[in-house]
Amino acid sequence: MDKLELLKSRRSVRSFTTEPLPKVVINKLRAEITMTNTHEQGFRFQLITDDPNPLRGVSKFYGSFRNPRNYLAAVVDTATPNALERAGYFAERFVVQAISEGLGTCFVGSTFNRKEVNAQIRAGEEILFLVLVGYPAEKEKAGARLMSRLVHLRKKTYKDFFQPERELEAACRTCQDLKDGLVGIACAPSALNRQPVRVFLKEIEGREVACAKVDNEGGYNLIDLGIAKFNYNFATSTECEWGNGSPLVVV
């Protein structure tokens, strides 16, 4: 599967089988997390397996999960620069690694019990969100199935992520990777499916460069920004600069 096909194949999975993660898969996921924790200041992402407790008794509709037993806990020192954006970025890298192993995933920002998360937390650190991971069950719970249908009916196309939209064609001639990057962004998960990230061109050192922003930095928007930036970079084999409104490729 090519990179865009892989991104397009992802959906939030809320029903999992009870099949445990094989050791070899756990090792690959842990290796991915170790890469993040080693290179990113203030990050202590942790993979917790066989622990259903944080998801017990949560919302019946948004976040209606079946057999959620394994998760990445996004433990981050929130005082480090661009912590939320980078957390979204590297968690989405984890998601892509997981789906390429045939696993299903779901970001969970609100519908879990923080006190029940079986992760080590030090002073100054927070659990920003979880990413559930496991083998997708064939049948979703009815509530989750309905929600997924509604969400995917409302999904935007890649054109909706560029501003101003009428200049997209010309922009694609200037930046060759732009269309693939926007398609990547259109496939990105976002809290409540708000898809708040927009791409625009900015002149930097005499060159038009694609940049990404969210208009409002509240709620989960900066996490969504990081997730979208990862998808852009993954689709186009590029690397970004950090910050709201910053270039999607290193200038």
Q: Is the Cβ of residue 87 or residue 211 nearer to ligand FMN in the bound state?
A: 87
Residue 141, interface with ligand FMN (CB under 6 A)? no
The beta strands (E) that lie in 88-165 are given as 104-108, 125-134
Q: Out of 9, 41, 110, 113, which residue is the one contacting ligand FMN (CB under 6 A)?
A: 110
Residue 95, interface with ligand FMN (CB under 6 A)? no
Q: Is the Cβ of residue 90 or residue 107 nearer to ligand FMN in the bound state?
A: 107
The token duo for 89 is 């970025």
User: Which helix (H) or strand (E) is 122 found in, with range?
Assistant: none
Residue 193, interface with ligand FMN (CB under 6 A)? yes
Residue 111, interface with ligand FMN (CB under 6 A)? yes
Residue 127, interface with ligand FMN (CB under 6 A)? no
Binding mask 145-184 for ligand FMN (x = CB under 6 A): ---x--x---------------------------------
Part in contact with ligand FMN (CB under 6 A); list of ranges 42-50, 108-116, 164-172, 197-205:
108-116
Residue 221, interface with ligand FMN (CB under 6 A)? no
Contact 136, 159 (CB under 8 A): no
Give the 3-state secondary structure of residue 133: strand
Q: Is the Cβ of residue 11 or residue 202 nearer to ligand FMN in the bound state?
A: 11
**Contacts (Cβ under 8 Å, ≥6 apart) of 97:** 28, 29, 32
Residue 106, interface with ligand FMN (CB under 6 A)? yes
Which residue matches tokens 């920003």? 128
Binding mask 30-69 for ligand FMN (x = CB under 6 A): --------------------------------xx------
Q: Is the Cβ of residue 33 or residue 130 nearer to ligand FMN in the bound state?
A: 130
Name the nearest CA neighbour of 133 among 99, 111, 105.
105
Contact 249, 209 (CB under 8 A): yes
How many CB atoms lie under 10 A from the CB of residue 184? Answer: 25
Give the 3-state secondary structure of residue 33: helix
Q: To the nearest whole angstrom, how small is the minimum distance from the Cβ of residue 175 to ligand FMN?
A: 25
Cα–Cα distance measured from residue 88 to residue 218, given in angstroms and rounded to the nearest whole number: 14
CA 52 to chain centre: 21
Burial label, 58 (beta-carbon count in 10 A; 0-12, 13-18, 19+): middle
Site of interaction with ligand FMN (CB under 6 A): 11-12, 62-63, 106-111, 129, 148, 151, 189-193, 220, 223-224, 227
